[in-house]
């Protein structure tokens, strides 16, 4: 049975999508930020793997049958960006400034705290690109000699944090302009945050996609510089 489930990519697909669906139901029912579908889905899938004794490696292999869709899906962010772009032209300089400031602060912050905690170079390189979307962050991390699995985990956790506490942060920081909300979600917590921004308004979603693209490019260019400072 374990061999059958391990070898079957259908089991991996069913487990992933099923666990995520349950996560979605939980979120609708409890309406608490901690019931993030990715988080709930990952914990559920992990528990099922442990219970069925299917090795994580076989599960990951099964997931490769659909995980390659991440790059095309990321590319599709050009669609909301295009739809909203004409309406954003006036706000563009302010958004750009916000994203550039946020990205610089992110890199300085991570780098500084990693120095403070005397972290190994591998870990610092893995954490530096944590605010950009997975498809981009993993590539940047690998280029700097980081550990992709840690980068992925940091990116996802960052995304969940932004998605879970972003609406609350908007209130506390009195961010009421949709473009400012979008810039914050997109710069701080990439695609996952932008998906949350989409629930707030279309403008916030479009600014979020714009922000995550610019933050991604900036991070990819600046990260190697910071890595050299280590």
Partner 1 sequence: MQYLRQFLWIIGFTLAGEALHALLPLPLPAAIYGLVLLFLALETGLLPLSSVKEFGEFLLKLMPVLFVAPAVNLIGSWPLLSNVWVSVLCIIVLSTLVVFAVSGRVTQMLLGHAEAAKAEDTEANGND
How far is residue 133's CA from residue 135's CA, in Å, rounded to a whole number? 6
Q: Is the dihedral of CA 166, 123, 220, 145 positive or negative?
A: negative
User: By C-beta, is 1 or 225 nearer to partner 1?
Assistant: 225
User: By C-beta, is 32 or 50 nearer to partner 1?
Assistant: 50
Q: Least CB distance from residue 4 to partner 1, whole Å?
A: 20
Q: Least CB distance from residue 3 to partner 1, whole Å?
A: 20
Instruction: Find out whether 187 and 98 touch, Cβ atoms under 8 Å.
Output: yes
Q: Least CB distance from residue 37 to partner 1, whole Å?
A: 6
How far is residue 116's CA from residue 75's CA, in Å, rounded to a whole number? 36
Closest CA to 109 of 96, 124, 91: 124
String of DSSP letters for 118-153:
T--HHHHHHHGGGGS-HHHHHHHHHHTT--HHHHHH
User: By C-beta, is 4 or 47 nearer to partner 1?
Assistant: 47
User: By C-beta, is 35 or 177 nearer to partner 1?
Assistant: 177
How far is residue 10's CA from residue 152's CA, in Å, rounded to a whole number? 23
Instruction: Find out whether 114 and 124 touch, Cβ atoms under 8 Å.
Output: yes
User: By C-beta, is 26 or 110 nearer to partner 1?
Assistant: 110
Angle, CA 222 vertex, CA 218 and CA 225 arms, to 5°: 175
Query: Would you tell me how many other CB atoms lie within 10 Å of the CB of residue 13?
Result: 14
Q: Least CB distance from residue 29 to partner 1, whole Å?
A: 18
Q: Least CB distance from residue 177 to partner 1, whole Å?
A: 5
User: By C-beta, is 30 or 66 nearer to partner 1?
Assistant: 66
Q: Least CB distance from residue 28 to partner 1, whole Å?
A: 14
């Amino acid at each position: 049975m374990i061999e059958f489930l391990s070898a079957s990519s259908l089991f991996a697909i069913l487990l992933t999508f099923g666990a995520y669906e349950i996560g979605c139901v939980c979120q609708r029912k409890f309406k608490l930020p901690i019931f993030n579908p990715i988080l709930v889905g990952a914990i559920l899938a992990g528990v099922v793997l442990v219970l069925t004794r299917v090795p994580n490696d076989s599960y990951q292999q099964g997931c490769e049958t659909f995980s390659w869709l991440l790059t095309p899906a990321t590319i599709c962010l050009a669609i909301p960006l295009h739809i909203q772009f004409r309406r954003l032209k006036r706000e563009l300089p302010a958004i750009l400034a916000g994203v550039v400031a946020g990205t610089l602060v992110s890199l300085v912050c991570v780098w500084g705290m990693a120095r403070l905690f005397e972290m190994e170079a591998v870990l610092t390189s893995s954490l530096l690109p944590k605010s950009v979307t997975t498809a981009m962050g993993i590539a940047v991390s690998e280029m700097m000699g980081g550990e992709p699995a840690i980068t992925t985990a940091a990116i996802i956790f960052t995304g969940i944090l932004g998605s879970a506490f972003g609406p609350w942060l908007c209130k506390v920081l009195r961010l009421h302009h949709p473009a400012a909300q979008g810039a914050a979600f997109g710069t701080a917590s990439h695609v996952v945050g932008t998906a949350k921004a989409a629930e707030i308004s279309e403008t916030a979603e479009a600014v979020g996609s714009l922000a995550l693209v610019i933050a991604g490019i900036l991070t990819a260019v600046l990260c190697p510089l910071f890595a050299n400072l280590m």
